[in-house]
Amino acid sequence: MQRVIFNEDHHAFRASAKEYCDRSLVPRMEQFLEEKTIDRAAWLEAGKQGFLGLDVPEEYGGSSVGDYRFNQVFAEEVSKVSASLSSCFGIHYDCAAPYFVDLGTEEQKQRWLPKFCSGEYVAAIGMTEPSGGSDLAALKTTAKKADGGWVLNGSKTFITNGDMADLVIVAARTNPEKGAKGITLFVVEEGMEGFARGRKLDKVGQTESGTSELFFEDLFVADDNVLGELDRGFIHMMERLAQERIGAAVSNIAHATQILDETIEYVKQRKAFGQSVGSFQYNKFLIAELVTKVEVTQAYVDNGVVAHDEDRLSAVDAAKAKWWSAQVQNEVLDACVQLHGGYGYMNEYRVARAWRDARVTKIWAGSNEIMKELIGRDLGL
């Protein structure tokens, strides 16, 4: 089914995004996999092409396009290359950017955003903790008031871009007695004394993303690095989760669609018992189901993108898009592995890597179970 939400500007932007991916990402995927990170050159080239400042005003080095469909287009093109790369770039330009733009002071914006847009600074968001998972209100990292600033102690885990981030938005408890209403956001910068990175985590999938542990030991953060309002960090996070979740949905379905398209071509060529594997009735029916499911999901996600662009995407509808797209993505990729047969289990085949990469999407950005809980509460259950 033809998608109707894009205009000529979006199509031209997609061509530029695809060219960047083909030139700067695809030829270096083996390097990224081996090093378990995206090197700085790829970030700098993305910045040079204007992909990292889509939500940032022009006076700070961005383009401030004011149209979330451009974010969507870039996420889709990168997702076609690798779900892992999409998550790394997405955390930076799609998730972190609104925090800096919406909550930052004029001085903070001048200090951080130009290099954020150029790729000289890479951003991460430090929310998840070893014992907390999806329960952001239960975090244990603390920030105690000191002369001219705050002293942070604690740790974060599963942090995308954590291995190389120059700016980390850290959620810390500043008023323990107030629970969720006593959390504040801080920007921790590379080189601060007391800030340490742990190992790159050995994940099942998404190998090329530098997911790391972060540690804060008596780390002094000046008042100038408080992001947003004191004790309103939890609210700041909740207000921006809808964009994170619709962004995740965009990447999920783009990733699944690309691998499904490649699988369809594979089963047309692969022969068994004298005919193409795709011509067997069971496989033909299965692929018909997968294509339909992907296109229906894409229509829902596209509708969510338009709603977000018009500032009417609710947290509940974003949760629906997030969990359903992750579910469909995993169902589709599991079927694609099966259709490839034994080759589908070989790491040298993209379908195997994609299958492993996708599994985490049912866990992060709020687990699918949490998404269903939010939806159920909205129904009065």
Residues with a catalytic annotation lie at: 244
Parallel, antiparallel, or unpaired: how do β-strands 167-173 and 183-189 relate?
Answer: antiparallel
Q: Which position has the token pair 């596209």?
A: 302
Strand partners, 152: 143, 219
Q: What gap in Å lies between CA 306 and CA 297, rounded to an integer?
A: 14
- Give the CA distances from residue 299 to residues 2, 67, 245, 305, in Å, rounded to whole numbers and listed in that order: 10, 18, 16, 10
SS3 of 162, please?
Answer: coil
Q: Which position has the token pair 């496989």?
A: 283
Strand partners, 168: 124, 188
Q: What gap in Å lies between CA 246 and CA 240, rounded to an integer?
A: 11
Residue pair 247/364 in contact by the 8 Å Cβ criterion:
no
Phi, psi of 207 (to 5 degrees): -60, -35
**Rounded-to-5 percentages of helix, strand, coil across the chain:** 60, 15, 25
Residue pair 136/237 in contact by the 8 Å Cβ criterion:
yes
Q: If 0-12 CB within 10 Å is exposed, 13-18 middle and 19+ buried, where does residue 11 land? A: exposed
Q: Which amino acid is at 195?
A: F
The helix (run of H) or strand (run of E) holding residue 270 is: none
**Nearest residue to 158 (alpha-carbon basis) of 204, 195, 126, 191:** 126
Q: Which two tokens stand for residue 124?
A: 């991460």
